[in-house]
Amino acid sequence: MKNKKFKGMNRLVHAKGEGGLNTIIGKDSTIEGSVEVQGGLRIDGVVRGKISATESLTVGEDGRVEAEVKVGIAMIGGKVIGNVFAQERIELQSKSEVEGDITTKNLIVEEGAMFHGMCSMKNSSSLLQHAGHGSDMNKAIHTSKTIPEE
């Protein structure tokens, strides 16, 4: 599959395997309930409830998520209220704001991102073992100071 670029994104989303980015929730859309996607999901509107994607979740700068999130990779550019679980990586882009706990193997925080919550970083097998059992996990308060690249 080809790389796809969407308006408002400053990076390409690579369509991985057969799934790739196959669901987009537009800027003027609001969804309440459970959203389950085989592949990747991009949100530029509002989603409230639960989100599950087998590959990636991209929350655009105008996107707002009020949900429990379980995905492979999360790239957040907008606002997320709720806990985020990502098997591989969570990326907090410069204009993002997250209010909730995050659990992932790798965390990338760009300068300007805001994060209010706890962070747990574990390897993939530990993540799978503890998925959905936040109270059993060893959590640490995440305080981040990003140093600009020179």
Does pTM surpass 0.85? no
Question: Which has the minimum average pLDDT: 3-17, 22-36, 61-75, 116-130?
Answer: 3-17
Instruction: Work out the percent of the chain whose per-residue pLDDT is above 90.
Output: 66
The verdict on residue 71 lying in a domain is yes
Q: What is the mean pLDDT of residues 4-8?
A: 36
Averaged confidence pLDDT in the chain: 79
| Whether the predicted pLDDT of 125 surpasses 70 | no
| Residue-range definition of the domain harbouring residue 37 | 21-128
Residue type for position 29: S
pLDDT at position 122: 78
pLDDT in tens, 64-85: 999 999 999 999 999 999 999 9
The verdict on residue 122 lying in a domain is yes
pLDDT in tens, 32-45: 999 999 999 999 99
More confident residue, 94 or 141: 94
The verdict on residue 46 lying in a domain is yes
The verdict on residue 82 lying in a domain is yes
Number of domain units in the chain: 1
The verdict on residue 11 lying in a domain is no
* Nearest CA-CA partner of 75 in 130, 128, 12: 12
Strands (E), 17-136: 21-25, 30-37, 40-43, 46-53, 56-59, 64-76, 79-81, 84-92, 97-99, 102-109, 114-116, 118-121
